[in-house]
Amino acid sequence: MRIGNIANENNSTNIQNKNSSYKILTVDDEIGIVDSLSIFLKRSGYSFAGETDPVKAIDRIKNEHFDLLLLDFLMTPLHGDQVVEEIRKFNKDLYIILLTGHKDLAPPLETIRRLDIQSYCEKSDKFDQLLLLIESGIKSVEQMREIKKINAELAETYEKLEKSYMESIETVRYTVEAKDLYTRGHSDRVSEYSVLIGKKLGLNDEDIRRLKIGGLFHDVGKIGVPDSILQKNAKLTDDEYSQIKNHPTIGAHILSTASIFQDIIPIVKHHHERYDGNGYPSRLKGEEIPYLSRIAAIADSFDAMTSRRVYRDSLPMDIVISEIEKNKGTQFDPQIADAFLDILKNDYSSIEEIMRKYK
C-alpha cells in the first residue's frame, strides 16, 4: 500500500513540475473567482496570474508571455469578445478559454470561430470540467511548441542547405568567368541592370530578388561550352554558334537539381528568346516569354553592346540607344524597352555607377 502511495505522489509531483512551465492568466471582474482559480490552478502546479481589469489584462498580454487565457465574457468596461478582438491584433497564438456564467448570454458560435477562441465553459462551483479543458488546451500549446521547434530546426537546416547550394553555384559561376574573360563582371552588371529595370517597372520585392539572382546566374550554363569556343578570337562557325546556344538549356539543367533555384530557371533558360519568336532555345514569342526573362534579355543585350570584345570596341551610347529603339517589338518587349530607354535618357548616372562598380 505504501509503495502505491509513493508512486502516486511521485506521479503527482512530476505532473506539477511539468505544469509549472505553463503560465495561465485569468481575467474576471469578480475578485472571488480570480482568487478561487488561483488556489485551484496553483494546486494543480500551474504558474498563475490574475486580473480583474480587462484593459490591464490586455496590456499584460502585450508585455508578458502567457500560454493560456481564462477569460470571463460579461465584464466591464469590456466584454470578453472585445478583449479577444484586441488581443488578436497582436497575438494570434494565445490559447483562449471563454468563461460564461449564463449559457444564454454566451457569444454566438460565429464570433467564437472568428476570434479563434478555442473553447468556452460555463462557470461552476466545481472546476472538474474546466480542468479538463485546461489540460486539453495545455496539450495543444505543448504540440504547438513542438511544431515551432521542429519548424525552426527545419528552417535552420534549409538555410544551411540553401547557403551550400548557393556557394556551389557561385563556384560554377566563377569557373565560367575564368574560362571566358568577357563574362567577368558581365553577370553582375546584367543582374544590376535587371534590378534597375524591374524597379522602374514597379515590380514587387520578390520579383526584384528573382531578377537579381537570375541575372547573376543567367550564363552559368557556359560551364558546358568548350573553352576553345568561349575564348575564340575569330568569328564562330555555325556549329560553334550552335554549341554556344546550348548554354541556357545547360544552365537551367544545372539549377534544376536545387529547389531554391526553381523560380529563376525561366530567366536562365529564356534570356535569349526574342519578342518576335526568333530567339533560342524554345523560340517563344511575345507574352509566351516569361516576363522576368524579357527584362533580363534587354539587360544582357545592353551589356553585350557596351562591353569591349576581342573583335570590337564597346559601342557608343547613342548607337546603343538607337539599336534598342530599332529592335523594339522584334528583339525586345516594347514596354520594357521603353522603360529602359527612359533610364538611359533620364537616369544615366545609375547606369554609369554600375559600370564603374563592375569594370
Closest CA to 190 of 347, 331, 356, 354: 354
- Give the DSSP per-residue string, 240-284: HHHHHTTHHHHHHHHHTT-GGGGGGHHHHHHTT--TTS--SSS--
CB atoms within 10 A of CB 138: 19
Task: For residues 132 and 32, give the distance between their C-alpha atoms in angstroms, rounded to a whole number.
Answer: 21
- Cell numbers given for 243: 554549341
Residues 339 and 200: beta-carbon distance below 8 Å = yes
Phi and psi for 307 in degrees, rounded to 5?
-105, 145
List all residues 6 or more positions away from 72 whose beta carbon is below 8 Å from its beta carbon. 27, 28, 29, 30, 33, 80, 98, 99, 100, 101
Closest CA to 94 of 108, 109, 115, 110: 115
Residues 64 and 90: beta-carbon distance below 8 Å = no
Query: What DSSP state is assigned to residue 328?
Result: B
Query: What DSSP state is assigned to residue 312?
Result: B
Phi and psi for 130 in degrees, rounded to 5?
-65, -40
The single residue listed with the C-alpha cell 529564356 is 270
**At 108, is the secondary structure helix, strand, or coil?**
coil
Task: For residues 183 and 223, give the distance between their C-alpha atoms in angstroms, rounded to a whole number.
Answer: 11
Task: For residues 53 and 29, give the distance between their C-alpha atoms in angstroms, rounded to a whole number.
Answer: 6
Closest CA to 190 of 268, 245, 243: 268
Catalytic residue among 123, 222, 235, 245: 222
Task: For residues 194 and 116, give the distance between their C-alpha atoms in angstroms, rounded to a whole number.
Answer: 44
269 a catalytic residue: no
Catalytic residue positions, numbered: 222
